[in-house]
Amino acid sequence: AIKEEGVVIDPAFCKGCGLCYSACPSHAITLLNFEEYQVLKMTETAFKHLSDGKPRLLGLLCYWCAYAAADYMGICRIKAPENFRSIKIRCSGSISMDLIMEILGRDLADGILIAGCPVNNCHDIWGNYIEARRVGILSKVLEDLGYKDKIIKWEYIGVTRGDVVANDLKFMNERLQKIKNKNA
């Protein structure tokens, strides 16, 4: 709906996925209980007690599938690296590339796994596809900017695929540990 003061999101039609939030170039849209500063605060706190020398692995996992898959890892007794922290997000498409650049630019994490619903199964229809494309573009930009000691990874993950989360974390952890050892 458009009113005199500008664009207004009709709460009756809002699904709360955050796609509009992450795409808004002026950051005029806000989502209750999901603003970038809140995710940054969680990220700042997440690694406070982590031993030096360990890579900081951050998972930004969609509420519907990827976060549930990480929970499922525990049920299946699949261990995550001790240096992994996760943040439950509304939809993978709600993560803006500005937020990822802020996290990396402030050196709050070494590796970021962004994960959403499986192919043809996104609860918000296309949030996973949008984020997959964004992460692909951002990965190339990060490389061009010289972020060779950081990893950003996208993954489609279904609820019962805790093994995929574990494999991604293992890969990222091993690669980042090699980078840290080389730079030490």
pTM summary value: 0.91
Beta bridge partners of 88: 61
pLDDT digits (tens, 9 = 90+) for 68-78: 999 999 999 99
pLDDT digits (tens, 9 = 90+) for 142-171: 999 999 899 999 999 999 999 999 999 999
3-state secondary structure 38-103: HHHHHHHHHCCCCCCCCCCEEEEEECCCHHHHHHHHHHCCCCCCCCEEEEEECCHHHCCHHHHHHH
